[in-house]
Structure 1
């Protein structure tokens, strides 16, 4: 056993040395845990921000002017007037997300007790802004009409007092969500790519033959690749949380970083094993990239990091339970967002350990077969 551990340690040092000598991979690690996290967190907004609005005012009354003047930044850009004949044209070109058409005699019909209609054209290709922005505009229009009819500029008194408590992200700031999720997703991506690239690199440089004639076993080689590349990923992830998320973006981390790191280590065994497994089916980096790409896309998009698991079909939810990324995302969100402790996340950790063991055994069996064939 002591000899096995010694071989694993020394082979792991060799992996770290190889990684240090590969500037492309070093740049990739630094980029994906720094600029990629910052740029996505600050650039990809889920809330309504600077949505473009145009209007056709066929009434030109005090009420229509009041409605248009209530559409304000930062949610919306100042509304721009267009002609009725240009509505379809600007929507086809994607110039505006929203176009409001206020009909003639709108104010008079409202005061007469009729129910006139305001037409709202929405460009739903801007899906998030279209959905949330439509609700905001409806609320603005309804509030301004109510105040105008009542002659009272204060909010009308409702028969109930609705109190909303937004937990874990009080300002509903997208940066708080997307920055942390980028780190979680990048751990998955790099774990697969680095370990797979390490095995492919052995083949392309001809060092796999050297390993075959050395007194080392496939399990020692595989475990060495897992701990060495996993160590690099974990260190990069911790630095990213500290320097980029907490310091640069000012995002608070609610839970225990050591507990998150422990779960990430358990998770790394499965995804690094997956990277080695995929690499055994390929003979070059281009082949490995083409094979890994669809796997990573499915793991990230359907893990619950982009959309809640509850919004997926039941059969797909059941299928994704075999993916370790699903449980790692739930584990990480519970700790980093909601401050959950071990008493809450231990079921996810047990599942990750089980899946890690399964993936490791499958990858090791395939790796041994590949080594025997090469020999």
Structure 2
């Protein structure tokens, strides 16, 4: 009972320390609200309001028909420019696409010839350039076909394809980006808070105060884990229900309670990892540098950005020891596909094992750090 009381009081001390650090507190609050909203809604993977201009050297009904076919939300209303302006406007970044319709284009089309349309693309806007090129080809091809034949002909394949898009029928990137950003924020903030808590004790000299009290390193470490983990779990629940499901209108198919339970196990691993980094770093800048080395692989290679199946097999095997790999797996299964306990329990078990290993390693390093102090 004495040990439980010590852990409880030390955890309350951690919460008070976080409350007094207004800058860190505001950063954490923004990460779970504004950052998730901005990243998921502003970094859309769909073609949206792409700036386009047209050089109409033909001035024919067909060329005007093609120009009028580009409209929102995929493209902005096309601007008609002269051929001499193309290079300067592309260099200035004003347009992503410039379509050049050559002279006598309509006449050559009706004569059965194959005239060439030139599309100039600013490829520095890589995602828009790749998607927009396909859109332009489809739009121009459909308009020419309808103009020549008098109706929009659709070629019927000898087999009929019937695609069924599951879990995200409109292929809306916000549905994917918001949940992935929430998982990234949970991982990042949990490491930052616990690592900063250890460094703050050292910088403020309160670590020496703890050493003269009848406290064990185990009690100190557990208190930091439960206090910081509780804050992050509450903010994650708020972000899931208010920001993602409320403001962004992302449907949650599975059990939010099951997801938060799994997130708590994940936090056990990442907060332990944060304490481990806090014992290695002596200052906050050092912690920041260590986090760059840790967070980038955790986020980029966990399967949240690109599928793990597309990675080299050796990378897939190495990343099995990373908590984010299993976190992404069960989070996507629960929130996207509505999976239950019978599907996600292996990921929970793997996270518990990884968390236990991180905790024991962090406790060992913290004991050595205390002994050196």
Report the TM-score range of the alignment, normalised by the length of the smaller protein.
over 0.9
Q: Which residue in the other structure is 1:158 paired with?
A: 156
- Provide the secondary structure at the position in 2 that maps to 1:89: helix
- Provide the secondary structure at the position in 1 that maps to 2:280: coil
Q: Is residue 91 of structure 2 the alignment partner of residue 98 of structure 1?
A: no
- Provide the secondary structure at the position in 1 that maps to 2:98: strand
Q: For residues 175-214 of structure 1, what are the alpha-carbon distances to aligned partners after superposition, in whole Å with 9 as ceiling and x for unaligned? A: 2222222211110111000001111111111111111122
Q: Which residue in the other structure is 2:141 paired with?
A: 142
2:346 and 2:62 map into 1 onto residues whose CA distance is 57
1:69 and 1:279 map into 2 onto residues whose CA distance is 60
Residues 1-375 of structure 1: pairs in structure 2 closer than 5 A? 2-152=1-151, 154-159=152-157, 160-374=159-373
Change in 2 beyond 3 A, CA 1:66/1:310: farther
1:169 and 1:50 map into 2 onto residues whose CA distance is 22
Q: TM-score, normalised by structure 2?
A: 0.94
- Provide the secondary structure at the position in 1 that maps to 2:338: coil
Deviates more, 1:91-100 or 1:79-88: 79-88
Mind listing any 5+ residue stretches in structure 2 that lack a counterpart?
Answer: none
Change in 2 beyond 3 A, CA 1:278/1:52: same
Mind listing any 5+ residue stretches in structure 1 that lack a counterpart?
Answer: none
1:312 and 1:125 map into 2 onto residues whose CA distance is 25
Q: For residues 284-324 of structure 1, what are the alpha-carbon distances to aligned partners after superposition, in whole Å with 9 as ceiling and x for unaligned? A: 22222222233223322332222332343443333333221
1:62 and 1:309 map into 2 onto residues whose CA distance is 50
Is contact 1:147–1:156 with CA below 8 Å preserved after alignment? no
Deviation of residue 157 (structure 1)? 4.9
1:37 and 1:102 map into 2 onto residues whose CA distance is 42
2:68 and 2:312 map into 1 onto residues whose CA distance is 43
- Provide the secondary structure at the position in 1 that maps to 2:119: strand
Deviation of residue 133 (structure 1)? 1.3
Q: For residues 50-71 of structure 1, what are the alpha-carbon distances to aligned partners after superposition, in whole Å with 9 as ceiling and x for unaligned? A: 0011122222222222222111
